[in-house]
Amino acid sequence: CMRFYVQEIAVEKTEINRNVPAACAAVSAAAAEKGELKATVRFAVPSVLADGSDAGSEPLTVKVSTSADVKTVSGMPGESMTVDVATVQGDNEIDVVASNDSGEGLHVSVGLFTGLDIPSEPVVKSVVSDDNMTLTLNFESGIVGKNGGYVNPDEVAYTLHTYDEDEGWVVLKELGTVETYNYTLDEGAPQAVVNLGVTAHNAQGENKSVVTVSDVVGTPYPLPADEIFEGRKFTYSPVVIEAPTDDYFAEYTIIDPADLLDGAENESCISMAGYITDYGETMGQIALPKFSTKGVEKAVMGCNIYFHPLMPETTFRLHGVEMDSVVIGTVTPDMFDAPGWHTVKFEIPSSML
């Protein structure tokens, strides 16, 4: 059994006459196009009085007001109406109230931003060049600003940022009112994960929200290549643990496999291992660096894998420049009769060479 105790209840007399109109219904406001300081206000004239009784068959007067303008119209109870009213630059409070011979009724207020605005977050699309040395950024800005006001996309300028672990996002370059920018590495630069940020601004101010772009750029590794994890490190980098969705949270490390499973020892005492937290549920995805197939007529990818009953099904996928990814093979725990190290090989499709 639960009990609620309430104390200090106060009843106050209000100034509202029960015979005045109730509040207007379905009140909404929309800003004018292209930054004009005007709003279109829509509402329904109240059909009842403040006490809930019928408002009758006589027209009611409705006043729509802002700090810059007041408009008065007459409408029948229940009638839908539209009124244009002048506004000020920035935030506006628009008040709508109906009245009859007994006085003003219940007020309804809506907030609306009108005029010119700072940009919304830009849309930034990126593509890596064929030689993997340039990351091209393409910018798009809409006409609706951060606060709902108007933005001229032709007047939006962009700022390029890089990420510093100590300082956060720092300005790399002011790009101006461009639609495209090429971020190019020096010739021979090694592959690395490039993290860039973009902000947008105009004469009204800057949108501080940083739109991030990340990709692997740098000199591709030539073939053939053999990853042996020498010194318990990746010979070819960067290797990126990816999480396309929240369901991907497996972790990877380089370790002596004998420390994980009995019978999994190998000659090098080194392997890459994945860790899961929920068998059958945990997913993981790891991306290797980029390799050049220039001048290669035929290629095969091979992996030495320790097969055991609890290993997850693993799919191998190749990605090309501006090409859809291609599945080249899948391994499952039942591919071999007994646990042990086995080499599996997958031929690289000619379309990826």
Q: In the structure, what pLDDT confidence band is assigned to residue 310 with cuts at 50, 70 and 90?
A: confident
Residue 2 has pLDDT above 70, yes or no: no
pLDDT at 331 over 70: yes
* Prediction pTM value: 0.80
pLDDT digits (tens, 9 = 90+) for 240-253: 999 889 888 888 99
Question: 3-state class of 144 per DSSP?
Answer: strand
Could you tell me how far CA 220 lies from the centroid of its own chain?
30
Residue-wise pLDDT for 108-151, tens only, equals 999 999 999 999 999 999 999 989 999 999 999 999 999 999 99
Average pLDDT, the chain: 92
List CB contacts of 154: < 8 A, sequence separation 6 or more: 177
What pLDDT band is residue 59 in, cutting at 50, 70 and 90? Answer: very high
* pLDDT, position 8: 56
pLDDT digits (tens, 9 = 90+) for 15-46: 678 999 999 999 999 999 999 999 999 999 99
Phi, psi of 165 (to 5 degrees): -60, -30
Close Cβ partners of 90 (under 8 Å, ≥ 6 residues apart): 113, 114, 115
For 164-222, the pLDDT digits (tens) are: 999 999 999 999 999 999 999 999 999 999 999 999 999 999 999 999 999 999 999 99
